[in-house]
Chains A and B, each alone.
Chain A
């Protein structure tokens, strides 16, 4: 009974992540790579992603601190962040990162800085939702094969 209720909770949490467009279908691709040898592949990837992306955000923050900033280096960091966000299905982070790249290209300093706040917020929201989701997923135990979002 408890198992079913937990699984329902997990399914509901998962669905809301897609409904709110925090995640996209690339996350489902990662879930589908899971097998008996790597049953928590999506969680492992997300952990790697957060480690990688957090370092990139610190690099961007540091680069923006000292004007005039080097737009090429900044774009390099943002390109990496966009790439890894796309790979794990971190939809909102990817979208906000792209908007920041556009502001950077337009040489709009104020918009670049304000957009960076949105990138950080999207990243924090994602982390805040994925951690309890994976925690609950582990508690619920093995479930049916991953279902695509409705």
Chain B
């Protein structure tokens, strides 16, 4: 588990999920890995937080959310030029049409919920590759 004390290299993550249960689990999972993270409740809030000037190394994006879903939010973030690692995290099967559309919207990875430490490690390897 990496816990960087250097402010310039500390990883920041954004959890985007409308379920309070999943927000808490993903927040704690990331925290236990020493990754500082912020939580928002839908795709529009994810866009807004980026518009406020914040940058994230990793975004855990749920698919089904009110106001703006994960597919639309991912498309918009990519259109805005955001190159952060975006991992789709959803309960849809990785073979479903919705998931394919989600991946094509600009995901770097996709993991089926529920997220586990092993799945998070797999996602984190993708973050390192981007550097």
Contacts and interface: CB of A to CB of B under 8 A. Distances in A.
Sort chain B's interface into a size bin: 10 to 19
B28 interface: yes
Given A83-B91, A87-B113, A33 B19 contact: no
B35 to A, nearest CB: 14
B28 A84 contact: no
B91 A86 contact: yes
Contacts of A41: 28
Given A48-B20, A48-B24, A79-B64, A87 B114 contact: yes
A117 to B, nearest CB: 24
Contacts of A30: 25
Contact of A33 (B20, B28, B64, B113): B28
B22 interface: yes
B21 A84 contact: yes
Interface residues on A, range: 20 to 34
B29 to A, nearest CB: 7
B22 A87 contact: yes
A29 interface: yes
A45 B117 CA distance: 17
Interface in B19-39: 19-22, 24-25, 28-29, 32
Interface of A: 26, 29-30, 32-33, 35, 38, 41, 44-45, 48-49, 52, 76, 79-80, 82-84, 86-88
